[in-house]
Amino acid sequence: MADTAPVALVTGAAHRLGAKTAQTLHTRGWNLVIHYRSQHQKAEALASDLNQARPGSAATLQADLSNLAEVQQLAEQSVALWGRLDGLVNNASVFYPNPTEQATAQDWDSILNTNLRAPFFLLQACLPALRDSAGGVVNLIDIYSERPLTEHPLYCASKAGLAALTKSWAKDLAPSVRINGVSPGAILWPEGEAELDRSHQHAIVEKTPLARTGTPEDIAGAIAFLLCDAPFITGQILPVDGGRSLNM
């Protein structure tokens, strides 16, 4: 595809925050590589909508980010689509409780490989293209990377590691590539937990100074700002949490 528009790869972009991020960048004139693992229909529907708005501006790629060979292939295919890569959004992650007494090696591999190892090697594989374009990277962190969530030690460790990578990369890869992070608070309740105790949800909102949950647009807007409008910002992790981290 011959095009002069900037290109972003967004992992886990078939739905939820990833999809809104893809839509937001698209409205800013970007072409999108929509990565998905299992949400094929949602990914294709999103790409179809974006291509209807601007023909030839979106493509889908499938990869299991816990598999290093597929991570490498995702990077290669993403760059090949338009012959360039200007932005990488490491959005995809695995989230579920695993108390220390019950956690298994499989839990470790599932969470750490997807949430921490995959972003590292995906950026490594995309780095030549990102350097060529003086591109940017945004990693999705979590406020629980600094103030851990009960019974989620592996998830919290993975996000703390990604926060450390964000700052390390910002030093190591400057000045050619900017690296930042966005750290959401309560935005969307986890999938599969529709019956999450309402009093727990209420308690979280009650401790949030802005007295509400955030929206996918809040996160997508912050990501777009860091990629599009912040050429002198690198090595920063922006909390987008309604002030929740002030009361944790």
Please report whether residue 1 resides in a domain: no
CB 246 within 8 A of CB 187: no
The CATH number given to whatever domain includes residue 60 is 3.40.50.720
How many folded domains does the chain comprise?
1
Q: Which residues are catalytic?
A: 155
Q: At a CB cut-off of 8 Å and minimum separation 6, what does 149 contact?
A: 155, 156
pTM over cut 0.75 = yes
Range of the domain at 181: 7-247
| For the chain, counts of helices (H) and of strands (E) | 8, 7
Please say whether the beta carbons of 86 and 135 come within 8 A. Answer: yes
Strand blocks (E) in 91-184 = 136-140, 178-184
Note whether 233 and 180 are within 8 A (CB).
yes
87 and 30 Cβ atoms separated by less than 8 Å: yes
**H-helix or E-strand containing 90?**
strand 87-90
Length of the chain: 248
Q: Is residue 184 one of the residues assigned to a domain?
A: yes
Residue 136 domain-assigned? yes
The tens digit of pLDDT for each residue in 194-237 reads 445 656 666 777 677 776 778 899 999 999 999 999 999 999 99
What is the DSSP pairing of strand 7-10 with strand 31-36? Answer: parallel
pLDDT in tens, the chain (248 residues): 457 899 999 999 999 999 999 999 999 999 999 999 999 999 999 999 999 999 999 999 999 999 999 999 999 999 999 999 999 999 999 999 999 999 999 999 999 999 999 999 999 999 999 999 999 999 999 988 988 889 999 999 999 999 999 999 999 999 999 999 999 877 655 555 544 565 666 677 767 777 677 889 999 999 999 999 999 999 999 999 877 776 66
Alpha carbons within 13 A on the beta-carbon side of 10: 31
Is 2 a member of any domain? no
In a domain, 211, yes or no: yes
Instruction: Flag whether 83 is in a domain.
Output: yes
